[in-house]
């Protein structure tokens, strides 16, 4: 039996390698185990399935984030907890998406650049440093941190489970979810 929850959007944002998808996946699993209707929209998967062909120009990144936001809005208005995990580097477009979704919860996965680079399992930072990747967020393309996110998770020196627990604690205490 599904828990009685109105829909919302948990918008995880942060640098590549910050831990967005890892933390979001744990949160999704915990919410589903508690009986909530929940769906994960991973930035890499959305880019592969809904945004194939887009480049990493600012215009295309904005288009990708708008697409993720539209899907999250549809899910949330139908009572689903939409969990997004996407770099979404530009504050203006995140705020634009926020304005379209009721019960939008921005979660900044605040991981220092140096820690993200060490964690980089995809080898993207090395490729960006060698020039194989241009417009790499945080290196030669900006990442604009949220000014007032509902939640800021400091991940350096913490396990993904500890970070996910912080999100779930916030949802219980501030939003009566979880």
Residues tagged active-site: 88
Tokens for 5?
Answer: 């929850």
Residue 74 dihedral angles phi and psi, to the nearest 5°: -65, -45
Q: Is 165 exposed, middle or buried (0-12, 13-18, 19+ CB in 10 A)?
A: middle
Which element (helix H / strand E) includes 104? Answer: strand 104-110
Say whether 103 sits in a helix, a strand or coil.
Answer: coil
Could you please report the per-residue DSSP string of 34-91?
A: TT--EEEEEHHHHHHHTSTT--SSHHHHHHHHHHHHHHHHHHHHTT-EEEEE-----H
Burial class (CB in 10 A: 0-12, 13-18, 19+), 56: middle
Q: What is the CA radius of gyration of the chain?
A: 16
């Amino acid at each position: 039996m599904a828990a009685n929850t109105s829909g919302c959007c948990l918008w995880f944002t942060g640098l590549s390698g910050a831990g967005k998808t890892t933390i979001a996946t744990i949160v999704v699993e915990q919410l589903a185990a508690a009986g909530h209707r929940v769906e994960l929209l991973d930035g890499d998967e959305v880019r592969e399935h809904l945004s194939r062909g887009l480049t990493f120009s600012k215009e295309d990144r904005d288009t990708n984030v708008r697409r993720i936001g539209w899907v999250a809005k549809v899910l949330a208005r139908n009572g689903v907890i939409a969990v997004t995990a996407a770099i979404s580097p530009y504050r203006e477009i995140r705020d634009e998406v926020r304005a379209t979704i009721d019960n939008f919860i921005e979660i900044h996965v605040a991981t220092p650049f140096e820690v993200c680079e060490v964690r980089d399992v995809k080898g993207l930072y090395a490729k960006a440093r060698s020039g194989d990747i241009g417009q790499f967020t945080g290196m030669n393309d900006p990442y604009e941190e949220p000014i007032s996110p509902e939640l800021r998770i400091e991940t350096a020196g913490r396990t993904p489970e500890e970070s996910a627990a912080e999100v779930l604690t916030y949802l219980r205490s501030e939003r009566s979810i979880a």
